[in-house]
Each structure stands twice: as C-alpha cells, then as structure tokens.
C-alpha cells in the first residue's frame, strides 16, 4: 500500500548530503520539523522549518539530553493510521502525523576509537535518536525511517518521482534501521563490558570441514556482514567467504571474484558501472568450478548480474557484495538456499593464528599489494602499458592462491590458474591445460608466480603457450637462467621483491 509523505522530522549529527534531501522535501511540499543544529542548517538553506519546541511546548533541557522524547512527537510517529482508537486519541490530544523520520546517531564508536574520555564517550550514547529510529521502524506500515546518510540516495530516488512510498520500500528502510540500532547497541554493550570492540560471542556451527568434526565461530559476524537471505553459514562457507572478500577488497577498481575451496577460480576487473562485464569474464574462466562457489564483488550487484546467474542455473553457496539493487535481491532470493550477504566494510584481522603442536603460530596478514613502483624490469624488452596493467592484476591473483601458484591474466581477467602443486612447473601445466579445456587462448596473456622460478622451464613453457610477459618476486640464485629464457623468446619480465607463499 502506498503512503504519501506529508510531514517529516529531521534530526541528524552528520549533515553531509542532507541539503539535497531537504530541497526535494520542500519541492514536494513536505512539512519539515527539526531540532537545534539541524534546524539551523535547514534555515540557512532558506527552507521553512518548524522547531520541535513549537510542537511540544517544551524546550530542550539538560544540555540537549532531552529534546524529542515527548508524546507529541512519538505519538505522531507511532499512531496507527488505520486504527480508529488511535485516530480518536490523536485528535483528542491534538497530535499531528509524522510520515518520515530522518535521524542518525551520535558517533559513539568513532568517539571510542579516537580515545575519548569517559565523559565524552558516555555523552555520545544516543537516547532520543535511537528511540525515534526504533519507533519509526516499528510503525513501517505508515512511516518511512532513514537512519543513515548512506540511505539518502534511495530516498532521493523516491522523492524525485514524487512523495509516495510503497510498503516494500518502508519495510526495507525499517530493516536497515534495526541493523543500525543493533550494531550501535552491541558497541555500547562492548564498552561497558570492558571490550574495546564488539564483544565476542560463541556460535555453534553445524559441523566443521566435514560432518564428523565439531566447529564453532567465536566473534561477531555482524561486524563484517549482514545475512539477507539463505541457510545458515557453515564452517566452509565462512572461510571461503573471507577468502573471497580478501580478493576483491585488494582492488580499487570494480572487481568480481569466484572462489572455491579458498582458491580464486574466476577473477576480473572492470570500469565503473560495468561490473557485469567483470562477472562474465570471471565466470568464463572456469564455469565448472564456479558451480558451488562463492561469488564476491566490491561494488553494488545490479539486476543484470542476477539475471545472468539465474539464466546460468548456477548453484551458488554464497553471494557477498557491499550492496544489492532491489531487483537483483528479488531475483537472487529465488535461490532458496543461497546465502546472500551484505558486507559492512569487513574487518580482516591484521594477525593470523593457527594451532601448531601444543601451541599457536601467529603472523602478520599478507597485506602487500604490488604497485607500479614495485616492478623492476629485468629483460631486454620492458612490458607494455597493457601488459603492466595485467601483470598487477595477475600478481594479486597469485597472492590469493595456494602455493605453488600460477595465474594467467589477459585484459584484466584471470584466464586460468594452477595452484596447490608441489612443483611450479606442474602448477603452470595445470593452468595451460585448463585454459585449453575451456577454449581460452593464451596468446598475449601474462603470467604471475607467487614465488621465484627455480628453473627456466616455466618461462619456456609460458613462451610456447603464447604468454608475452611475466611477473614474479625474483631472488633465486638461478634468476639469470629465467631472464635469459625470457630474452630468448622476447618476453618481458619484471620482479617485485615480494613473495606471496600461501599454505
């Protein structure tokens, strides 16, 4: 059922992007109610605004701790428009409807992270704002709630077409609002429990890598993602999903990755607004391994990609992205068991740990990303600009493959890969054979190895397969033999000085 927005309440700490929303509301003839600094901000835009105090007949008190906690405000939000008793009470007490609530929360987590004093941290615990958000979200049948500046784009799209919202839109905003309040309350709880970040919870999983192994997750998954659809995540789902996020988050450009058993079997980058092209290239690298894999993107997944996945009848364990369009989400939810995850700028621990004998091994996460200045040309022919761009993609691809690893890349896409082999030449043979099976040409492709070449055999096979440029760390006492082999076939070779073993 559609509802018209006639009145709004706006009270935000962060004013970024608010001006455009306010102007659209004014254009649609929506009455604007506001508080303190937000009201002043709106007045400076020369847009009419009504202060909350003129409705409540009560000033802000206790240093602003109490501003909106009044029946005239909450009654305007919570009254049920289709409930006769509510409407009689509304008229009796002269309460006016509030159809849109735009409220964010005091920056509690930011103040905590910056090392604020105890008093500063406590003052950043929002009371009125979180109450308004929960009230509006509860009454989503009648009210639209916008609880973050990141939702302004969606609200702007609605206001540009008019001032009516659908039940589906209001329910989506409500769901996002409860995500915001849940995360906020969890952070506050962590502070009072003496934990600087969100406290760890222990979650029992169905089983570990295999059904006969028991498993638990200790931590808070909501720090990294929100599950929008699908079955409960398994042990294998979680480690594969983390591996997939690690891949795409290493890229600044739009990237799409397909991961299977913690190895990248499909990967491609694209221009902005062309993520669907990256998905097609990633899928084409290995359609067989894509079945039962993890799909990950570092940009919004739109309808086009969802339609392709449906048409391919691809069985997917997990799809994770920072955002999904409404239509894409509807299509993907047609896959009953597929876990759909919205990532929350996931935190990847900077320390890695694993058990070893009766103790623990720890190490820093491999966070190095090769850049142009890392590349040292060691052959007679330097790489072209196009080859250089592909070499940087290939270097990141091998970083996320189990050793020994080889990645073959062309035009910003992984063509083939070989990994988990006990010799480097076997990893390359695996990659070359795989490309041939899928009918993919290696002519003009580049090759990356996550460690140096102990012998020149890999470079020779690469040249005979059509590969024109190679990237590797270098550092072998036999480096010159590989360089000489590259020069023999006019291959460009660069070294980086960074090894990326992965066991």
Of the listed 15, 253, 261, 300, which one is catalytic?
261
Helix 128-138 and helix 71-78, axial crossing angle in degrees, nearest 10: 30
Helix, strand, coil percentages (3-state) for the chain, rounded to 5, are: 40, 20, 40
* Cβ contact 321:342 at 8 Å: yes
Specify burial of residue 47 (Cβ count, 10 A radius: 0-12, 13-18, 19+).
middle
Determine the length of the chain: 503
Strands 225-229 vs 255-260: parallel, antiparallel or unpaired: unpaired
Of the listed 138, 149, 231, 402, which one is catalytic?
138
Give the residues across from 495 on adjacent strands.
Answer: 376, 472
Task: Render the burial of 198-232: b for 16+ CB within 10 Å, e for the rest.
Answer: bbeeeeebeeeeeeeeebeeebbbeebbbbbbbee
Residue 261: active-site member: yes
Sign, CA torsion 323/329/331/333? positive
What DSSP character marks residue 61?
B
Cis peptide bond prior to 404, omega within 30° of 0: yes
Give the count of beta carbons closer than 10 Å to the beta carbon of residue 276: 19
- What are the residues whose beta carbons fall under 8 Å from the beta carbon of 115, sequence distance 6 or more? none
How far is 489 from 467, CA to CA, in rounded Å?
Answer: 10
Give the residues across from 320 on adjacent strands.
Answer: 296, 341
How far is 277 from 269, CA to CA, in rounded Å?
Answer: 8
Strands 406-410 vs 413-418: parallel, antiparallel or unpaired: antiparallel
* Cβ contact 116:124 at 8 Å: yes
Residue 93: active-site member: no
Sign, CA torsion 400/414/438/384? negative
- Active-site amino acid positions: 138, 261
């Amino acid at each position: 059922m559609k509802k018209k927005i006639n009145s709004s309440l706006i009270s935000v700490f962060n004013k970024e992007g608010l001006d455009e929303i306010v102007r659209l509301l004014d254009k649609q003839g929506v009455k604007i109610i506001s508080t303190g600094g937000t009201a002043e901000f709106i007045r400076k835009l020369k847009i009419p605004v009504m202060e909350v105090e003129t409705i409540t007949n009560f000033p802000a008190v206790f240093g602003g701790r109490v501003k909106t906690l009044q029946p005239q405000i909450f009654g305007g939000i919570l009254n049920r428009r289709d409930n006769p008793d509510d409407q009689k009470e509304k008229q009796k007490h002269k309460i006016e409807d509030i159809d849109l609530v735009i409220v964010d929360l005091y920056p509690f987590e930011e103040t905590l992270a910056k090392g604020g004093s105890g008093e500063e941290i406590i003052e950043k615990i929002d009371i009125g704002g979180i109450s308004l958000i929960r009230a509006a979200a509860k009454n989503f049948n009648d009210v639209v709630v916008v609880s973050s500046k990141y939702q302004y784009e969606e609200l702007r799209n609605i206001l540009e077409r008019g001032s009516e919202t659908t039940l589906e839109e209001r329910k989506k905003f409500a769901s996002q609002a409860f995500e915001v309040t849940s995360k906020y309350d969890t952070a506050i709880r962590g502070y009072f429990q003496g934990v600087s970040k969100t406290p760890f919870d222990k979650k029992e999983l169905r089983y570990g890598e295999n059904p006969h192994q028991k498993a638990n997750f200790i931590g808070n998954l909501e720090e990294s993602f929100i599950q929008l659809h699908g079955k409960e995540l398994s042990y294998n789902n979680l480690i594969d999903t983390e591996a997939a996020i690690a891949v795409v988050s290493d890229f600044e450009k739009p990237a799409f990755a397909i991961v299977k058993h913690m190895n990248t079997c499909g990967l491609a980058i694209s221009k902005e607004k062309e993520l669907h092209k990256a998905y097609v290239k990633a899928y084409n690298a290995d359609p067989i391994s894509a079945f039962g894999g993890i799909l990950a993107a570092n940009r919004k997944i739109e309808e086009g990609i969802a339609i392709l996945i449906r048409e391919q009848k691809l069985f997917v364990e997990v799809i994770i992205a920072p955002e999904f369009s409404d239509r894409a989400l509807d299509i993907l939810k047609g896959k009953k068991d597929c876990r759909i995850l919205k990532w929350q700028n996931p935190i990847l621990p900077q320390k890695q740990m694993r058990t070893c004998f009766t103790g623990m091994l720890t190490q820093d996460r491999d966070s190095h990303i090769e850049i142009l200045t890392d590349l040292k040309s060691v052959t007679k022919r330097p790489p072209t600009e196009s080859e250089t761009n592909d070499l940087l993609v290939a270097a990141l691809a091998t970083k996320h493959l189990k050793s020994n690893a080889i990645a073959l890349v062309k035009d910003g896409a992984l063509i083939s890969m070989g990994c988990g082999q006990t010799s480097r030449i076997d990893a390359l043979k695996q990659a070359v054979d795989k490309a041939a099976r899928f009918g993919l040409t290696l002519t003009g492709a580049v090759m990356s190895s996550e460690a140096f070449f102990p012998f020149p055999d890999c470079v020779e096979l690469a040249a005979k397969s059509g590969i024109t440029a190679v990237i590797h760390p270098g550092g072998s006492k036999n480096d010159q033999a590989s360089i000489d082999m590259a020069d023999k076939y006019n291959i460009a070779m660069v070294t980086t000085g960074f090894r990326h073993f992965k066991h």
